[in-house]
Chain A
Amino acid sequence: MKPEIDPHSGQETTGHEWNGIKELNHPIPRVFSLWLWASILCAAILWVLYPSFPGYHQVLGGVLGYSSRGAVNDAVIKGQEQRAEAYAKFAQEDYETLLNDPALKATYQDEIGVLFRDNCAACHGRNGQGQLEFPNLRDDHWLWSADPEEIQYTLQVGINADHEDTRMAEMPPFGRDEWLEQADIDHVIEYVLQISNQPHNAEMAHLGETIFEENCAGCHGDAGHGGYENGAPSLTDTAWIYGSSRADIADTLHNGRRGVMPAWSGRLSESEIRQITMYLMWWAD
């Protein structure tokens, strides 16, 4: 069949006719088909250069030998090297020297803050102010010690965490496990309220004092002053983890407490742990 030529435009028609109307056969512009063939060519070239298709034994690796996993491994190692250099001081010098270096805080505090907010803020709050069940890290009340080496160790192994060397700290469930009579518990609660300077029943508190000495002082220190650095807090200050009201303390004594602080060895590098330790020390002073 010979293509018919439209007399007005000089174009070929498709040869179909609808009620006397004919359609011009306008091919798509050449540039589009060139574009299509060029992209097919590019695909073929990339297929040869880069990993493309799983073969029977191994992926067709491509002649460039590129691997996205290899590339990210290299990038991560490079990043670690850069950071090791930028934070060399933290890995090499002891805390004493670091604390006496006034320029350090101004230079690094913001950057290390990112690490703190990514990993610690969910529990201890964005500014380390703590919240119910999670202690304040800004004040000078420490469960274990104010010594940066000890804080570093807490970060590494955690408290009641799943690390094999984790620190253990448990407030026993005196009520639930029936270690103390309910009356004794009521008395010792009043005593705790007394030593923490809160409204209390003096008579009951007096009875509670001996109970405290026999049952609690071993962990919480004489008269609840703490200071043993064994994870048991001082009960005489205003820094409460689980709340200071009579009901909160009753709950602590009945059910016990066993706060879990995760271990960060493995998830954070040793240098990062030292950086965060310094970050906490900057708050403390």
Chain B
Amino acid sequence: MEHAKLERHGMAFALAVLGVAAIGGFVEIAPLFTIENTVEQVDGMRPYTPLELAGRDIYVREGCYACHSQMIRTLRSDVDRYGHFSLAAESMYDHPHQWGSKRTGPDLARIGGKYSDDWHVAHLERPRALVPGSVMPGYAFLSQTRLETDHLSVALSALSRAGVPYSEEQIALAEFDAFSQADPEATYDQDLFVRYGENVQIRDFDGDPNFLSEMDALVAYLQMLGTLVNFDNIDAKEIAR
């Protein structure tokens, strides 16, 4: 038997193991060096605003991903129900991405704009009051909990080290920007458009003007999901290549 020979030569055997493992490593790691041409070139993508980012952190903290995916697969049934399949570009600023693999509830990749803020707040507080028989847990405490904002600058700079292109100004003003996005009365909303682009939504998301709650942040995040890329001027051929 051939392997009997190999097994009797420790050094040769170790080299053979290394060789086989290296093939596995190459197949997994090499594609990462070509990530540039995996991520599509599309208009509209921008990093999360500080408020959306805070909402995303709450989404992760509460484990919403355990029941909701954010990945519209290249299947006709998915595309018919949820809209255009997800692009790599749409999660390019996600660390980590929230694709998920379990759909107890519907996919949320394009939930932004499907419902009103009021509906989201009412549904998150008491899901069964709006959708009889829903098994989604209630998150009423989010409306009562003040949003922690003092760490937002640090969070942005951590992400910028992971490759998200936040400018120094965006990092320095993160906390201020979080407050102004949920305050429609603020006169400095133009600043937010200048810093993050025209597709930022500025509203009092939870309908309670008295303070900035975790609900504000989570709804701001849900309402922007899947709304950034404009699929009208996208080249279907290029995307499908």
Contact surface of A with B, Cβ cutoff 8 Å: 25, 27, 53-59, 61, 67-73, 75-76, 79, 118-119, 121-123, 126, 131, 133-134, 161-162, 259-263, 267
- Cβ of B122 and Cβ of A71 under 8 Å apart? no
Q: Tell me if A53 and B1 are in contact (CB < 8 A).
A: no
Instruction: Please report whether the interface of chain B is mostly helix, strand, loop or mixed according to DSSP.
Output: helix
CA distance A34 to B129 in the complex (A): 60
Decide: B76 and A75 in contact? CB cutoff 8 A.
Answer: yes
* Highest count of chain B CB atoms <10 Å: which of A72, A161, A259: A72
Contact A55/B240 with A68-B74, A72-B76 known, Cβ cut-off 8 Å: no
B130 near A122: Cβ-Cβ < 8 Å: yes
Q: Within 8 Å CB of B37, what residues of A? A: 54, 57-59
Q: 3 closest pairs, A vs B, by CB?
A: A260-B116, A70-B240, A69-B240
A260 to chain B, nearest CB (A): 4
Q: Among A27, A54, A119, A126, point to the contact of B34 (Cβ < 8 A).
A: A54
Which one, B14-22, B78-86, B149-157, is touching chain A? B78-86
The answer, yes or no, to whether B31 is at the interface (CB within 8 Å) is yes
Query: 15 pairs across A/B with beta carbons < 8 Å?
Result: A56-B34, A58-B241, A59-B38, A69-B74, A69-B240, A73-B236, A75-B76, A79-B80, A123-B115, A162-B113, A162-B201, A260-B117, A261-B116, A262-B115, A267-B83
A82 CB to closest chain B CB (Å) equals: 11
Given A72-B76, A76-B79, A261-B116: 8 more A-B contacts, CB < 8 Å: A54-B30, A58-B241, A71-B74, A72-B75, A72-B85, A122-B130, A259-B118, A267-B83
B239 contacts chain A at the CB level, 8 A cutoff:
yes
Which residues on the B side are within 8 Å of A263 (C-beta)? 113
In the assembled complex, B193 has its CB within 8 A of some CB on chain A: no
Q: How distant is the Cα of A280 from the Cα of B119 in the complex, in angstroms?
A: 21
Chain A's nearest CB lies how many Å from the CB of B79?
Answer: 5
Report A-chain residues with C-beta under 8 Å of the C-beta of B34.
54-56
Q: Indicate whether B131 reaches chain A with its CB closer than 8 angstroms.
A: yes
Question: In the complex, which residues 192-241 of chain B have their Cβ closer than 8 Å to any Cβ of chain A?
Answer: 201, 236, 239-241
Q: Number of B residues whose C-beta is below 8 Å from A?
A: 32
Q: Does B46 contact A (CB under 8 A)?
A: no
Contacts of B74 in A (CB 8 A): 68-69, 71-72
Contacts of A59 in B (CB 8 A): 37-38, 241
Q: Are A133 and B122 in contact (CB under 8 A)?
A: yes
Report yes or no: A73 in contact with B240, Cβ–Cβ below 8 A. yes
Residues of B within 8 A of A54 (CB): 30-31, 34, 37-38
Contact assessment for A262 and B116 in the assembled complex, using a CB-CB cutoff below 8 Å: yes
Q: Which residues of A contact B75 (CB under 8 A)?
A: 72
Please determine whether A76 and B114 come into contact, CB atoms closer than 8 angstroms.
no
A261 to B85, CA, bound (A): 25
A123 touches B119 (CB 8 A): yes
> Chain A's nearest CB lies how many Å from the CB of B40?
10
In the bound assembly, the distance between CA atoms of A77 and B211 in angstroms comes to 47
What is the CA–CA distance of A27 and B4 in the complex, to the nearest angstrom? 11
Return A70 CB to nearest CB of chain B, in Å.
4
CA distance A54 to B201 in the complex (A): 37
Given A57-B37, A76-B80, A267 contacting B114 (CB threshold 8 A): yes
Q: Which residues from B are CB-within-8-Å of A56?
A: 34
Contacts of B115 in A (CB 8 A): 122-123, 262
Most buried by A among B31, B74, B117, B201: B74
- The distance from the CB of A3 to the nearest CB of chain B, in whole angstroms, is 9
Give CA–CA (A55, B33) in the complex, Å: 10
Known A-B contacts A69-B74, A118-B81; A262 and B38 likewise in contact (beta carbons under 8 Å): no
Residue of A nearest to B119 (CB): A123
CA–CA, A138 and B17, complex, Å = 71
How far, in angstroms, from A62 to B83 measured CA to CA in the complex?
Answer: 28
Say how far A283's CB is from chain B's closest CB, in angstroms: 19
Tell me, in angstroms, the Cα distance from A56 to B240 when the chains sit together: 18
B-chain residues with CB within 8 Å of residue A69 when the two chains form the complex? 74, 85, 239-240
Residues from chain A with Cβ under 8 Å of B130 in the complex: 122-123, 131
Min Cβ gap B207→A in Å is 9
Given known pairs A67-B240, A70-B240, A133-B122, the reply for A122 and B131 (CB within 8 Å) is yes
Q: Pick from B1, B79, B81: contact of A27, CB below 8 A.
A: B1
Bound Cα distance from A267 to B110, whole angstroms: 10
- Note all chain A residues with C-beta closer than 8 A to B81: 118
Contact: A79 with B240, CB < 8 Å?
no
Distance in Å from the Cβ of B107 to the closest Cβ of chain A? 12
Report the minimum CB–CB distance from B239 to chain A (whole Å).
6
CA distance A285 to B203 in the complex (A): 39
Whether B76 and A79, one on each chain, are in contact in the complex, defined by CB atoms closer than 8 angstroms, is yes
Least distance between A246 CB and chain B CB atoms (Å):
22
